[in-house]
Amino acid sequence: MTINLTFHICLIFQPFLKEGQTEKKDADGDMEEEKSKVISESDQENPEENRSIEASLEKMTKEEVVEAFRELKEKADRDHDLYLRSMAEVDNIKKRAARDKEEWIKYANENLVKSILPFMDNLDKAVAHARDEKSLDALREGVELTLKGLKDSLGKSGVQEVHTSGAPFDPRYHEAVYEKEDDQAPVGTVIQELQKGYTLNGRLIRPAMVVVSKGRPEAEKREEIPR
């Protein structure tokens, strides 16, 4: 009932709070007329509740109605200001979340890159040492050790090589560059790896480039045919 009473007060008195009102006598008469009109219309919706509202309105003086309306207007202004502040805060949260996401994506591989840097240092040292000593053996040994360390580091991050040697061709992990006759390997078997493939935590990130056996040469097959 309090909400309906407040609504009725607002409807009745709102036209009389504007600047440039008519004289007090005319305003009083208009207010009484508006009050009767609002109460009459609302009686059709909820007669019992509105009779109680009517009784409350009849007991209120004009000054009390004015004061009630002003209090309601102040509360509405405060609520509106709070709403605007809340919307601004929500907008700031969205922008901050977008910046954080962009930052995370930008530096997501930071730890992986840091783990690779020592192997780049080792390669630099191996090249410098081979240049000074003019020894290919030293260069080969340095590169092999660096490659092993790099593979171990990537393995800790979930990177694994795709198995190819002697494996049946699997289109999920292999990409056939061409087929080749081979009298030792069955048809559809990988006989050569041209480029390694890798998975990341089980997901393929690069297929292995392979050569696939297409079986024994045709000449050998014809020789086996009984005459």
Write out the chain in H/E/C secondary structure. Answer: CHHHHHHHHHHHHHHHCCCCCCCHHHHHHHHHHHHHHHHHHHHCCCHHHHHHHHHHHHHCCHHHHHHHHHHHHHHHHHHHHHHHHHHHHHHHHHHHHHHHHHHHHHCCCHHHHHHHHHHHHHHHHHHHHHHHHCCHHHHHHHHHHHHHHHHHHHHHCCEEECCCCCCECCCCCEEEEEEECCCCCCCCEEEEEEECCEEECCEEEECEEEEEECCCCHHHHHHHCCC
User: pLDDT confidence of 224, banded at 50, 70, 90?
Assistant: low
Q: What is the pLDDT of residue 153?
A: 85
Non-local (6+) Cβ contacts of 151 within 8 A are: 161
What's the CATH fold of domain 160-222? Answer: Nucleotide Exchange Factor Grpe; Chain A, domain 2 (2.30.22)
Per-residue model confidence (pLDDT) at position 222: 53
- Report the C-alpha gap between 209 and 177 in whole angstroms: 6
Tokens coding 144: 């092999």
Instruction: Flag whether the pTM goes above 0.85.
Output: no
The ranges assigned to domains in the chain are 2-80, 111-156, 160-222
Q: Under 8 Å CB-to-CB from 74, ≥6 apart: which residues?
A: none
Q: pLDDT band at 170, cuts 50/70/90?
A: very high
Tokens describing residue 147? 């490659």
Encode pLDDT of 37-62 as tens digits. Answer: 555 555 555 666 666 666 666 677 77
Q: What is the pLDDT of residue 85?
A: 93
